[in-house]
Amino acid sequence: MTTQTTTPKTAGTPTAGDTSGLIGMPPHIGRALATGGGALTVASTFLAWTWTAEFPGDLTVYGYPGGLQVLVLIAGALTTLFGLASYGVRGLRRLVPAGGDAALKFAALAAFAATWYTMIAISAQLGGLVNLEPGGYIAAAVTLIALLGALALPFERPAPDPFDPDDTGWEQFKHTSSQNWQTIRAAFTSSIPRPVPALPSYAEILIIVGILAVALLVFTYGIGTEYDELFVGFLIVAGLGFTALHRAGLIAQATEITARHQNITVCGAFIAAACFPFTQSDDQYATLGVYILIFATVALGLNIVVGLAGLLDLGYVAFLGVGAYAASMVSGSPSSPFDLHLPFWAAVLVGAAASLVFGVLIGAPTLRLRGDYLAIVTLGFGEIFRITANNLDGTSGPDVTNGSNGISSIPDLDILGFDMGIAHDIGGFTIGRFANYFFLMLLITAVVVLVFRRSGDSRIGRAWVAIREDETAALAMGINGFRVKLIAFAVGASLAGLAGTVQAHVTYTVTPEQYLFAGTTPPNSAFLLAAVVLGGMGTIAGPLIGAALLFLIPNKLQFLDDYQLFAFGLALVLLMRFRPEGLVANRRRKLELHEEAEAPTTLSKTGA
C-alpha cells in the first residue's frame, strides 16, 4: 500500500501556474484601472501643473502640453494602447505579440515615475507643494491608480525546479533564493507568446523606415533637451518605455524584421544619421554628434579585439592618440616638428599606418599572454604612451610632441576645395563646421562598419571567434593563434588611428591628457570597453549605441557634480544585472548568459 502525503498550501506561497497580481485586486478591475488611468494621464497633460512659468517648460498652459508633460503624455498613451491590446481590441493585437500584461506594467510605471518626478522637481525648485495646480494633483493621482491597477494583473509564476533532497544546505539555500527571485521577476514578465501573421516584404521595409525615423526622433530629442529636468525625465520614459516595448515582444519582432533585410537596415541607418545635422539650427548639438561618432567608431574598432577575438585590451585609447598625433604632425600645424602639410587622404593613411605599426610592435611580444596578464600589459602600454608623449617636450627628451602643451593650431581640413572649417548652404540649410565633420566622420564610420562586417564573416573572423570561445581547442584544430590575434590587434589599432586623424582636426589641439585610462569624460580606455560590453560584444549596432549613451549621458548629467559618476555607475550596475548580454545581444552571447532558459538546471534522479 502506498500512502500519499500532501502538504497543505500556505497562503501566499507561489505555486506553478498560479496567476495573481502583486496586490489583492481582481484582474479585470486592475486592467480597467490601468487602461482608464492611462487615458486620464493623457488628458491630465492638457491641464496646467503649476501656476508660474519659472519652472522650465512652461507647464502653466491649458490645452497645450509642454516640457515634461509631453513625456508623460507619451507614457500615458503607451499605457492606454497596451491596456486596450490586453483586452484583445481588434487591430491592436500586433502591439503585444508576446502578451500585454508585462508591457502594461512597465508603461504604467513609466507614466507614474515621470509624473511624480515632475511633481517633486516642481516642489523642490519652487518651494513646496503649494506651487502645484489642480492639474498636477490629478496627474499624480491617475498615474498612481494606473500603476496599482497594472500591478493587480496576473502573471505566470515559474514552476519550481526539482532539487535533490540529498543536496547540502547551501545548495537548497541557492535553490530557494532562485525561486524567490523568479517569483519577483515574473511580476514584470510575460510568458504567453501570441502568433503574428507574416507581413509582405514591402510592409516590412516600411516598418524598418518607421523604426529608423523613430530612432532619429528619439535621439534628436534626447540630445536637444534644453534643461536638466527634461533630460532626467527623458531617461525615465525612454528606459521604461523601451522595456515595455521589449516585454510586449515588439523589439524582438523588429529585430527579426531587420535581420531579414540587413543591407536595407544598414543603409537606412546611415541615411537617418545623415539627416541629423539638418534637424539642428546651429552647431550646439552637432558638436556632440561628431564626438559621439568618433567615440562610437573607436569602440567599434575595439569590438574586433574584445568582441570577436576575446582579447581584453585596457590601453586601446593609446592607438587613438597615436593616429591623432601622427596626423597632426603632417597637417601643417605651426607647432609640429615637421614642416609638412599633406592632403587629407595622405594624413589619414599616415595616422592609420602609425597606429597599425604600434599595434604590431606592442602585440608581437605580448599576445602570447592570455586573460588578465594581457590586460595588464595593454594597460601599461596606454600609460607608457601618455607618459612618453608628455616627456617628448625638448627638456626631458627630444622635442617631438611639445610635452603637455601638445600640438596646437591644427588647421581645418580642405578636401577638394571644400573647406570644412566654414559654414556652407546646402538645399536651404546652413551646415556649420561641426556638421561638416559629422558627415566626414559618418563616412569613416561606414568604412569601419564595412571592415567589421566583412572581417567578421570571413575565415579570419571565424578564427577570431574560435580563439575567443576556446583558444586551446582552436590551436588543436590547426588555427595559428598568435597570427590570428596579431591580425585582430593590428586591424583594431588601425581603425582607432583612422578615427584619431579626424579627432585631431576637430579639436584643433592634441594633448596627452586626452588619452587617459579612466576619467570623467570619454574617450578613454575604460569608457571604450564599457561601451562595447554595454552595447553588446560581437555586434555592429551594440558598440555604436553603447558609445552614444556613454558619451551623451555623462555630458547631460554634469549638473549632478560629485554625484555624476555615482549615478552613472549605478545605472551601469543595474543594466548589467538585468541585461548582461548588452543592449544589442549577440545570439551566442545571450545563450551563454541565459543557459537556465535553454536547459534544465538539475537532473532528476530515478531509483528502483
Domain membership flag for residue 81 = yes
Domain membership flag for residue 267 = no
**Domain final residue pick, 222, 251, 280:** 251
Which residue is associated with the grid cell 506561497?
A: 13
Domain membership flag for residue 552 = no
Mean pLDDT (the chain) is 79
Apex 599 CA angle, 594 and 602, nearest 5: 110
Domain membership flag for residue 299 = yes
Do 373 and 427 lie in one domain? The reply is yes
Least confident of 128-132, 332-336, 578-582: 578-582
Do 221 and 325 lie in one domain? The reply is no
Domain membership flag for residue 504 = yes
* Mean per-residue pLDDT, 176-188: 48
* Mean per-residue pLDDT, 575-597: 66
Do 209 and 293 lie in one domain? The reply is no
Domain membership flag for residue 104 = yes
**Domain final residue pick, 514, 540, 558:** 514
Do 197 and 343 lie in one domain? The reply is no
CA distance 219 to 74: 16
Domain membership flag for residue 125 = yes
Do 346 and 453 lie in one domain? The reply is yes
Query: pLDDT digit string (tens) for 62-75?
Result: 988 988 999 999 99
Domain limits at 191?
A: 20-158+175-251
Query: pLDDT digit string (tens) for 467-507?
Result: 888 888 888 888 888 888 899 888 888 998 988 898 888 88
Nearest to 499, CA basis, from 451, 431, 562, 567: 451
Q: How confident is the model at residue 353 (pLDDT cuts 50, 70, 90)?
A: very high
Do 351 and 240 lie in one domain? The reply is no
Domain membership flag for residue 577 = no
Q: What is the DSSP string of 486-543?
A: HHHHHHHHHHHHHHHHHHHHHHS-B-GGGS-SS-SSSSSHHHHHHHHHHH-TT-SHHH
Say if residue 114 is exposed, middle or buried (CB neighbours under 10 Å; 0-12, 13-18, 19+).
Answer: buried
Number of domains in the chain: 2
| Contact indicator for 22, 149 with CB cutoff of 8 Å | no
Which residue is associated with the grid cell 527623458?
A: 234
Name which residue leads in pLDDT, 237 or 516. Answer: 237
Do 83 and 180 lie in one domain? The reply is yes
Do 204 and 314 lie in one domain? The reply is no
* Range from 3-12, 93-102, 112-121, 340-349 that averages highest in pLDDT: 112-121
Name which residue leads in pLDDT, 527 or 136. Answer: 136
pLDDT score of 130: 85
Do 232 and 303 lie in one domain? The reply is no
Do 196 and 345 lie in one domain? The reply is no
Do 46 and 132 lie in one domain? The reply is yes
**Domain final residue pick, 251, 271, 306:** 251
pLDDT at 164 over 70: no
Do 366 and 506 lie in one domain? The reply is yes
Considering the entire predicted model, what is its pTM? Answer: 0.78
* Mean per-residue pLDDT, 555-578: 76
